Amino acid sequence: MTRLFNDPAAFADEALEGFAAAHRRWVRPVTGGVVRAAATPAGQVAVVIGGGSGHYPAFSGLVGRGLAHGAAVGNVFASPSAQQIRSVARAAHGGAGVLLMYGNYAGDVLHFGQAAERLAADGVEARTYAVADDISSAAPDESAKRRGIAGDLPVFKAAAAAAEQGRSLDEVLRVAERAGARTRSFGIAFSGCTLPGSDHPLFTVPEARMAVGLGIHGEPGIGEEALPTADDAARLLVETLLKELPEDVAAPDGQRAAVVLNGLGSVKYEELFVVYRKVAELLGEAGVEIVDPEVGELVTSFDMAGVSLTLTWLDEGLEALWRAPADTPAYRKGALGTPEPEDDERAPAEDARDTAVPPASDASREAAGTVLAALDAVAGIVEAHVDELGRIDAVAGDGDHGIGMRRGSTAARSAAAEARERGAGAGTVLHRAADAWADRAGGTSGALWGTILRSLGTALGDRDAPAAPRVAEGVTEASAAVRRLGGAEVGDKTMVDVLVPFADALTAATAEGVPLTEAWDRAADTATDAAAATARLLPRKGRARPHAEKSLGTPDAGAHSLALITRAVHGALLNHH
C-alpha cells in the first residue's frame, strides 16, 4: 500500500512537483504536467502523451529526447483535463503540430479530444491517437474498445522516434496507427493496489490464486486461476498472445518482435527476470526473434502485484523506430548528441480572455447566489456519500468515482465563489465551475460534469433572471451534450439513465407552468427512481463493461451520484426561493 503521503487529495500534484525537481536535466514543469527541458526543435512534431497518476514511469518519466515532448498528468487513476492537456501541448509545440497520445479509456478519449479541438481554435494543428493493446478487455472484432496498458510504451516510442526524424504530423500519426495495430498485451495479478489514503485495496485476489486479464486502474481481472510457478506464468502470457496475431502476421515463426515484460508495482526485478527467461525461451521455440527486450517497471499501478507481457510485431520501419535512441528520466536507449539549450520562454502567457469576468445584469448576479448555493449543496452531498460512491464503483470498476466527484465538486464550488465575488452573472459562474470541475476531477465524470455545468451556464447567460423554462432548456441541452460526448444512451447503465428522464420530467413540469422548485422536486423523484433502476441493468459502456455480470444488482455509481445531486440542489432552491 502507499504509505508516504500528506493530503491524499494532493498526492498527484506533490508527486509531480517532486519528480520535476529531481529531473531538471530532462523536464521542466508547466501547468498540467511537464515538457522537455529543451525546446522542441522548430518544425518538429511534438508528441504529447498523458493519463492519470499512479502509473510511473508512465507518463511523466517518458518525457525526453527520442520519446515524448511533454506529458499531461491527471489525478490518481484519472485522466488529465482538456485544459491541462492544452497547456502542456502549447508549451511543447514546435510549430509543426501536436500528436496527443493516451490509453484508450473513456475519460482520456473525452479530454484529449476536447483538447485537440481547443488547440485547433488556438491555431495549433493537433491529432489524437488512443493505444488499445489489452486483448483481455474486448474481443478481436471489438478491438477499438480495448484499453491501453503497457503497449503504450512501444507505440509512444515509435511515434516519437518518427517525429525526431522530422516527419509530418500526418506521417507521425500513421506510424502510431501502424505500431498500435501490431501491439498486443496481456496481464495477470496476485493482489490489487491501494490508493493513497485508502485502507483497503481496490480488489483482492484469494490466497494461492491469481487474477487474469486485469486493468491498470485496479479493475479486477476477467477470471481467476490457481497461482502459477514463474514458468507457468510465462507460458500463460506467451501462449495467450500468440493466439492472436495481427492480420498481416500469418504465423509467429520468422517474425521479429519488440518484447516488454512489465512489472505492475510490487513484483521485484529478480522475479521479472525469472519469468523473462522462460518468455524468451518460449518465443524462441515459436520462431520469434526478440528485438531489444525491456524488462522492468514501465507502466505500473501503484503497489499492484502483477505482470504483463507486450509484443509489438515489427516490420523494417517499426524496428528502426524501436531501436532509435532515447533519453528520458525513466527510459534510455542508445546515444544522442548534445542536447538543445534549455528554453523557459515557450509556454504562452495565460489568455486574458480565459480569466476576465464579462459584464452581467443585477438579476443575473442575484441568480448567481442561488447557483453558488446549489454548488455548495452539491459539494456537501458528495462529501457525505464519497465512501458509498467509491464502494459502488468498485463492484465492477476501479472505485475512484467518489474521490473524483469530491475533487470536482469542491473545485467547482471554489471557482464559482471566486467568480461571484468578482461580480459574475449566473452563466459565467457556472462556466467557471464547469472548467474547474473538469480540470480537477479529470476522468470521464469530470468531462461529463464539466459539460453539464457549461450547458446550464450557456442557457442561463449573464443578462436575465433564469426563468424555469430556461433552466429546463439548459438541463435538456446538458442531457444531449453528455450523450454526444460520451456516446452512451439510456439502457447503457451510466449517468445518462438518470439525466435523460430527469431532463424530460423537468421540461414537462415547467411546460405546465409549475414553479421551478416544485418542478425540480418532481424531476428529482424521477431521478431517484431511475438511479435505483440501473441496478437491473448490465453496463455497456466504460470500465465496468468487461465485468458486466458483477454489477448486476448494484446501481451505477454515476447515476446514483447524479440522483443524490438533483435532490441536494432542490434543497438549495427551496432555501433561496
- Please report where in the chains the cell 519469468 appears, as a residue: 275
Torsion of CA 517, 518, 524, 526, to 10 degrees: -160
Cis amide linkage into residue 228, ω under 30° from 0: no
User: Are 5 and 128 within 8 A, CB to CB?
Assistant: no
Nearest to 298 by CA among 412, 85, 148, 502: 148
Q: DSSP of 127-162, one letter per residue? A: EEEEE--BGGGS-GGGGGGPPPSTTHHHHHHHHHHH
Distance CA 432, CA 82 (A): 14
User: Are 85 and 112 within 8 A, CB to CB?
Assistant: yes
Residue 192 CA to its chain's centroid (Å): 19
Q: Three-state DSSP class for 304? A: strand
Side-chain half-sphere exposure of 312, counting CA atoms within 13 A = 37
Report which secondary-structure segment, H or E, holds 231.
helix 230-242
Distance CA 50, CA 153 (A): 12
Distance CA 266, CA 153 (A): 19
Nearest to 443 by CA among 195, 63, 109, 175: 109
Nearest to 37 by CA among 22, 15, 53: 22
Among residues 217, 401, 560, 570, the one annotated as catalytic is: 217
Our answer to whether residue 217 is catalytic in this structure is yes
CA distances from 507 to 103, 451, 471 (A): 38, 19, 9
Name the phi and psi angles at 430, rounded to 5.
Answer: -70, -35
Report which secondary-structure segment, H or E, holds 261.
strand 256-263
- Please report where in the chains the cell 500528436 appears, as a residue: 99
Q: What is the 3-state secondary structure (H, E, C) of 234-251?
A: HHHHHHHHHCCCCCCCCC
Distance CA 347, CA 84 (A): 13
Which residues have a catalytic role annotated? 217
